[in-house]
Structure 1
Amino acid sequence: MLSLRSLKLKTRMMLILGMMAILQTGFIGFFALVYLSQSLDEQIGLRALHVAKTIAAMPDVVEAVESRDSEWLQPISIDLASVNDARFVVIGDRNGIRLAHPSWKRVGKPMYDDEGDYNEPALVYGKPYIQKATGSLGASVRGKAPIFDSSNENVVGIISVGFMLSSVEDTINRYRDTLYLVILLSFGLSVLTGLWFASHFKKAIFGLEPEQIGHLFQERNATLESVREGIIAVNGQGNITTFNRAAIDTLGLDANTKLTGRPIEEVLPDSRLMDVLRTGEPQIDKDVWLQDRNLIVNRLPLLQNGQITGVVSSFRRKDELDAISKKLSQIEQYADTLRSQSHEYSNKLHTIAGLIQLGATDEALALIGQESQSHQALIQLLVEAVPDPILAGCMLGKYNRAKELGLNLDIDPESSMKEIPDHIPREELVSIIGNLIDNALEATLRNRKFDVRLSMTDLGNDLIFEIEDEGAGIAEKDQENIFRKGVTSKEGEGHGFGLHLVEKLLQKLGGTILLEPADTVGSRFTVYIPKARPE
Structure 2
Amino acid sequence: MRLFKMSLQTKILGLVLSLVFLIIVLLTASFTYMEGEQIEEQKGQLALQISKTISTMPTIINAFNTDDPSKIIQPIVEKIRKKTGAEFIVVGNKQSIRYSHPNPKRIGHKMVGGDNYRALVLGKSYISKAKGSLGTSLRGKSAIFNHNGQIVGIVSVGFLFEDIKVQIIKNIIKVSLISLAVLIISIFGSILLARNIRKDTMGLEPYQIAALYKERNAILHSVKEGIIAVDKNGVITMMNQTAKHLLNFSGDFHNKKVEEILPTTRLYEVLQTGEPQADKEMVLKNKTVIVNRTPIFDKNNKEVIGVVASFRDKTEIEQMVNTLSEVRRYSEDLRAQTHEFTNKLYVLSGLIQLGEYEQAMNMIQDETAALKFQNRILFDQIKDVKVQAILLGKLGKASEKKIRFDIDSNSSLQSLPKQMTLSHLIIIIGNLIDNAFEAVAGTKDACVNFFTTDLGQDIIFEITDNGAGINEEDISLLFNRGFSTKSGHEPRGFGLANVKEAINELGGCIEVQSKIGEGSIFIVYLPKDSKGGLNNGTG
Superposition TM-score, scaled by structure 2 size: 0.67
Counterpart selection for 1:129 from 127, 130, 141: 127
The equivalent of 1:175 in structure 2 is: 175
Residue 446 of structure 2: aligned partner: 450
Structure 1 position 177, deviation (Å): 1.9
Cα displacement (A) at 1:58: 5.4
Q: Secondary structure in 2 aligned to 1:421?
A: coil
Change (3 A) 1:108 1:4: farther
Separation of aligned partners in 1, 2:490 and 2:326: 29
The reply on whether 1:482 has 2:470 as its aligned counterpart is no
Q: Deviations over 1:367-404 (max 9, x none)?
A: 33222111111111122222111111111211221111
Helix, strand or coil at the partner of 1:145 = strand
Contact 1:65/1:157 (<8 A) preserved: no
Aligned to 2:56: 61
Match of 1:491 in 2: 488
Tell me the residue number matched to 2:284: none
1:425-436 matches, within 5 Å, as 425-436=421-432
From 344, 357, 368, give the equivalent of 1:348. 344
Gap runs ≥5 in structure 1: 244-263, 284-298
Equivalent-residue separation in structure 2 for 1:474 and 1:490 (angstroms): 14
Q: Does 1:145 align with 2:179?
A: no
Q: CA deviation at 1:40?
A: 1.9
d(CA) in 2 for partners of 1:170, 1:133: 24
Partner residue, 1:28: 23
CA distance in 2, matches of 1:241, 1:89: 87
Q: Which is further off, 119-128 or 428-437?
A: 119-128
Supply the AA of the counterpart residue of 1:413: S
| Distance of aligned partners of 1:422 and 1:414 in 2 relative to their CA distance in 1, 3 Å threshold | same
Letter in 1 for 2:492: H
**1:469 to partner: Cα distance:** 2.0
Change (3 A) 1:62 1:302: farther
Question: TM-score, normalized by length of structure 1?
Answer: 0.67
Q: For residues 349 and 426 of structure 2, what CA distance do their matches in structure 1 show?
A: 36
Contact 1:461 1:530 in 2 (8 A): yes
User: 2: distance between equivalents of 1:184 and 1:120?
Assistant: 55
Deviations 1:85-106 (A, max 9, x none): 7666554444444455567776
Alpha-carbon distance in structure 2 between the residues aligned to 1:351 and 1:273: 71
With over 3 angstroms needed to count, the CA separation of the structure-2 counterparts of 1:149 and 1:380, relative to structure 1, is farther
Match of 1:289 in 2: none
Alignment-derived partner of residue 292 in structure 1? none
> Which digits, 9 at most, give the CA deviation of each residue in 1:57-93, with x for residues without a partner?
55961766655366368547855885x7766655444
Counterpart selection for 1:524 from 494, 507, 521? 521
- Which residue among 48, 54, 58 is the counterpart of 2:43? 48
Match of 1:492, SS state, is coil
Q: Give the Cα separation in 2 of the matches to 1:466 and 1:235.
A: 49
Evaluate the alpha carbon distance shift between residue 335 and residue 199 of structure 1 in structure 2; reply closer, same or farther with a 3 A threshold: same
Distance 2:362 2:531 in 1: 51
Alignment root-mean-square deviation, CA: 5.6
Give the aligned residue type for 1:42: E
* Number of positions where the alignment pairs a residue of Structure 1 with one of Structure 2: 471
Question: Does the 8 Å contact 2:125/2:143 carry over to 1?
Answer: no
CA distance in 1, matches of 2:464, 2:252: 47
- Structure 1 residues 517 and 232 mapped into 2: Cα distance closer, same or farther (>3 Å)? closer
Q: What is the identity, as a one-letter code, of the residue corresponding to 1:33?
A: T
Q: Which moved more, 1:468-477 or 1:438-447?
A: 468-477
Secondary structure of 2:481's partner? coil
Whole-Å Cα distance in 2 between the matches of residues 233 and 45 of structure 1? 74
Mapped contact 1:55–1:61 kept (Cα < 8 A)? no
Describe the SS at the equivalent of 1:370.
helix
Residue type of the alignment partner of 2:493: G
Q: 1:45·1:131 contact (CA, 8 Å) conserved in 2?
A: no
Q: How far apart in 1 are the matches of 2:387 and 2:2?
A: 69
Distance, in Å, in 2 between the alignment partners of 1:127 and 1:357 is 152
For 2:152 and 2:32, locate their aligned partners in 1 and report how far apart those are by CA, in whole Å. Answer: 34
Aligned residue type for 1:493: E
Between the aligned partners of 2:227 and 2:133, the Cα distance in structure 1 is: 81
